[in-house]
Structure 1
Amino acid sequence: MNFATLDLNLLRVLDALFREGSTVKAGARLGLSQSAVSGALSRLRHALDDPLFVRHSNRLVATDYAETLRDGLRDELERIEILLSPPGTFDPATATGAFKIAASDFMAELLMPPLGDLLNKTAPSLRAQLIDLVPHDYINSLERYGADLALIPDTELPDWANREPLFRSPFSVIARAGHPGIGATDGDTMPMETFCALPHVLFSPEGKLSAMGDDALARVGRARHVAMTMPVFSGVCRVVSESDLIALIPDQLARKVAAGFGLQVFRPPMLIAPALIVGVWHKRADRTPMAAWMRQRVFDLLKPLDQA
């Protein structure tokens, strides 16, 4: 390869292909047509003498050689962005780009509506994308899914990641209004016998049959019957609203959706430590202007949810 004749714009295309795994999505990220991205990929293959990507189902998968370029390329592009964007020059009103947030659909209710309104008013050409977390390995969402920020329960982090504590979320029990098996009044503590006797629907993207609530029950010598698992909170709330199943979900979410789904909200009968939700991102993006601005907007919207 002759570096002196290489079009450096091709490296932005390569980075977008790594992030998106699709010529269509990479084009959308860069504001290019699919044919332009395909043409750039062809020139990259010729310049680097490697296929770079092979098609697997509907996704492009990087070759072994391309994988050796992924992290270093992203680091270098972000260093160039920092180099060319002195502090104070970032202007959200004219900035363009995309910011991927990996989180559960909890954030579809609590974060994305106010974030959408904020961006529409202050940064109309920036795009926020809410994507799934990598199952069983939430931190890996930053690498495998190309997320710019992961919103997850607090956990031990690798040395390449930074974190920002955002809010603590206690848990509430939800049941459909008029549930015949519940004698407690909305807002009261649900009796332990009722909580353990009724079937539960559990939020679990991985299909696990136990969670923090089960650990809390075990500490007082009790157990519940999990009759169903759902990979999204919206599904949990829908099932509860149309059946006699109950569920244990974050309190902020329960209060937000109760009226829309026709739910009653109760305090759980056992002590459950609130979950601390944190924002996690790669250290290499600490000073990337657009990413830093977007992270702070997300943090500003989520920290008022704290119920410490």
Structure 2
Amino acid sequence: MNFRQLDLNLLRVLAAIHRSGSVTAAGRALALSQPATSNALSRLRDHFRDDLFVRSPSGLKPTRLCERIAPEVQAQLQLLEATLTERDDFDPAHSEMRWRTSLSDLGEMMFLPPLALALRQQAPQAHLTNVSVAADDVPAALESREIDFAIGILQPRHRGVRADLLFREHYVAMTSARWRPANGKAGRTLSARQLAEAALVVASPTATFHGSVEQMLVRMKLSDRIVLRARHFGALPELALNTDLLTIVPQMYAANVCERLDMRVWELPRTVSPNYDVRLVWHASTAQDPAHQWIRSQVHRLFGRMQAAS
């Protein structure tokens, strides 16, 4: 007896005949003709090398083999039916869902606290883990389910990876409130010359979605003005606050820092600081999953508010 050669559709016939004690009744329940049901029973008998059912005055009676396997087949079919037809509702208040995301160190500072607050308020038993994944490796990590979603300066062009624009962002310069440019008027926007005369501190994390800061400085031929490189964006405010250094960071981050520290934000020349897009990305295989839909809706609610104004 080779299970791999068994047509699993026949097991529905076995369970139906066992339930009803009649080939005709079983066929009616399965929307099969009497000949088709009889043929299925014949194939079952050939496979199991057993009569399975024998005639009696009160109808078909199961053999000892059938009596052993039919109830188990029926139970497994019912379990499978329940699994396939049950609504996969998601109740955040009681779910113990575990999501995995990928955020850069700056993304962790900007996005993780609001997400954590939303989870504690609405899904207190759920879990969220930030996994370090380089931007180029995000599509593969989504496909392998290493992560469930990512937020950052991402432009996925891989099949199966979907993306939503959350907001558009641009870079600004940030200094201590006491800092002034070496020459020229201290207006709202620094000139290219004023920027070229400043001493710069930048973040150079090993895995980040913000490598474009240094790329921008290279295009401006200002990379030689970088006198200090930190591994994390979190170090930049203190470094600029207590020195004459100027740092270049996303405007959203600068606004957040200035709520806590005595810093000044300077706009950069428009030709210097192009806009860039911050996206939420996920894999198509989770598009209809209620738990994943819920967490993505939270990301949109918390961080997608600037999209309409972009």
CA contact (8 A) 1:154 1:278 kept: yes
Number of paired residues?
227
Q: Distance in 1 between matches of 2:286 and 2:296?
A: 10
2:304 aligned with 1:278, yes or no?
no
Residues 187, 131 of structure 1: alpha-carbon distance in 2 compared, 3 angstrom cutoff: farther
Residues 147, 169 of structure 1: alpha-carbon distance in 2 compared, 3 angstrom cutoff: same
Q: Distance in 2 between matches of 1:232 and 1:144?
A: 28
Q: Distance in 2 between matches of 1:267 and 1:111?
A: 23
Q: Distance in 1 between matches of 2:243 and 2:297?
A: 40
Residues 213, 115 of structure 1: alpha-carbon distance in 2 compared, 3 angstrom cutoff: closer
Task: Give the AA of the match of 1:195.
Answer: L
Structure 2 segments unaligned to the other structure (5+ residues): 4-80
2:300 aligned with 1:303, yes or no?
no
SS at match of 1:128: strand
The TM-score, its normalising length taken from structure 2, stands at: 0.63
SS at match of 2:239: helix
SS at match of 1:111: helix
Alpha-carbon distance, 1:270 to partner: 4.0
Q: Distance in 1 between matches of 2:172 and 2:252?
A: 9
Q: Distance in 1 between matches of 2:84 and 2:187?
A: 54
Alpha-carbon distance, 1:170 to partner: 1.4
Q: Which moved more, 1:264-273 or 1:228-237?
A: 228-237
Alpha-carbon distance, 1:97 to partner: 1.8
Alpha-carbon distance, 1:144 to partner: 7.2
- Percentage of pairs with the same residue: 20
Alpha-carbon distance, 1:215 to partner: 5.5
Q: Which residue of 1 aligns with 2:106?
A: 106
Task: Give the AA of the match of 2:222.
Answer: A
Structure 1 segments unaligned to the other structure (5+ residues): 4-79
Q: Which residue of 2 aligns with 1:223?
A: 222
CA contact (8 A) 1:102 1:141 kept: no
Alpha-carbon distance, 1:104 to partner: 1.5
Q: Which residue of 2 aligns with 1:268?
A: 268
The 5 Å alignment of 1:112-191 reads 112-134=112-134, 137-142=137-142, 146-179=146-179, 181=181, 188-191=188-191
The TM-score, its normalising length taken from structure 1, stands at: 0.63
Alpha-carbon distance, 1:235 to partner: 1.9
SS at match of 2:165: strand
CA contact (8 A) 2:97 2:127 kept: yes
Task: Give the AA of the match of 1:276.
Answer: D
**Cα RMSD after superposing both structures:** 3.3
Residues 195, 162 of structure 1: alpha-carbon distance in 2 compared, 3 angstrom cutoff: same
Residues 143, 159 of structure 1: alpha-carbon distance in 2 compared, 3 angstrom cutoff: closer
Q: Distance in 2 between matches of 1:207 and 1:184?
A: 37
2:192 aligned with 1:192, yes or no?
yes
CA contact (8 A) 2:103 2:131 kept: yes
Q: Distance in 2 between matches of 1:217 and 1:235?
A: 19
Alpha-carbon distance, 1:181 to partner: 4.5
Largest Rg, 1 or 2:
2
CA contact (8 A) 1:203 1:236 kept: yes
